[in-house]
Structure 1
């Protein structure tokens, strides 16, 4: 979204938002703090973005605040590799404020179809791609007997991560091991 005084102002707001997220975590960031950081009126920000969730979502969707997943490790044991990778994601999501950012993004993604598409393109599709690439490599090496497509397994894992991140499913070692055991024979 563009701020009333131009793209530079919007870019400054998104940059300030990203800085504050790193410094304080989502739960402590306020629209007032963002406005103060850029020297703007809080009301101006609220007219453009409406809420903290919307400005944070915009910062993520514009690539100013980056949330990325590391590649799935390849130590030779598909189950352990996938479980270790999911443990890393769980640790990341449990960091102060990260889960709140994910919840804010999920909320903002329901506001408009273009935001939903961007949410998928920036957050879920890269994770799904990492999983699918790893599973295809395991299939090629003969380490994975195909019961369902790699895409379906990827979708199920991304769905679980999304559900767990917004607070509806446990994101712990026991559940991760159970998920991997069900998906990877």
Structure 2
């Protein structure tokens, strides 16, 4: 029977992960470095977490993504708002550490359904809710067809940003513009 986790050691490892991400970026994080920083053994870490991505996921559930606080615009121009969000979500992907972080989050989401659901609820759900609210408002003012499914549209925007992360490159201004125009053309009133 495995020994129960020491809450002090668990918190120390999670804090070490958050500090390492902020200081060095995900690619530079090692289990050895986390163990040294948290003053625990590598064996302790491996006993509690299957990968550094799993540690990252748990650390982010109790903390935040470095540079992840993007304010969501709300103006009278739906197209401009959606372009601004998609551009902002993609901008950080020009940095290798942001690409590594995004890929790690995608990996942990894919390999640990429970942790993935919690991460999606914390980080993706507010974005989806914002897009749904913006599309709903656009329906109310007559800019978007009333039969447009705001949830499906939101999923398309999140999928576009996720695909850019998997490719390891930000979306160009032209790609953002073309994506938003295409999606809006399909739902225009």
TMscore range, shorter length? 0.7 to 0.9
- Deviates most, 18-27 or 90-99: 90-99
Corresponding position of 2:111? 111
Task: Note the C-alpha offset of 1:131.
Answer: 1.0
Paired with 1:28 and 1:22, the residues of 2 have a C-alpha distance of 11
TM-score, length-normalised on structure 1? 0.86
Select the structure with the greater relative contact order (CA < 8 A; seq sep ≥ 6).
Answer: 2
Tell me how many residue pairs correspond in the alignment. Answer: 183
Aligned to 2:63: 64
Greater alpha carbon shift after TM alignment, 132-141 vs 19-28: 132-141
In 1: Cα distance, 2:97 partner to 2:170 partner: 17
Segments of 5+ residues of structure 2 without an aligned counterpart are none
CA–CA separation in structure 1 for the residues paired with 2:82 and 2:5: 47
Distance in 2 (CA, whole Å) between partners of 1:173 and 1:128 is 21
2:20 and 2:73 mapped to 1: Cα distance?
31
Match runs of 1:82-161 below 5 Å: 82-146=82-146, 148-161=148-161
- In the alignment, the residues of structure 2 paired with residue 142 and residue 160 of structure 1 have an alpha-carbon distance, to the nearest angstrom, of 26
TM-score (norm 2): 0.85
SS at match of 2:63: coil
How many Å apart are 1:129 and its aligned residue? 1.0
Which stretch of the first structure deviates more once superposed, 169-178 or 46-55?
169-178
Maintained 8 Å contact 1:99/1:165: yes
Measured in 2, the distance between the counterparts of 1:72 and 1:138 equals: 16
The reply to whether residue 164 of structure 1 matches residue 164 of structure 2 is: yes
Name the CA distance, whole Å, in 2 between partners of 1:120 and 1:103: 14
Q: Distance in 2 between matches of 1:3 and 1:12?
A: 17
Distance of 1:128 and 1:58 partners within structure 2: 22
Computed over aligned residues only, the root mean square deviation of the Cα atoms, in angstroms, reads 2.3
Give the conservation status (yes or no) of the 8 Å contact 2:109–2:115: yes
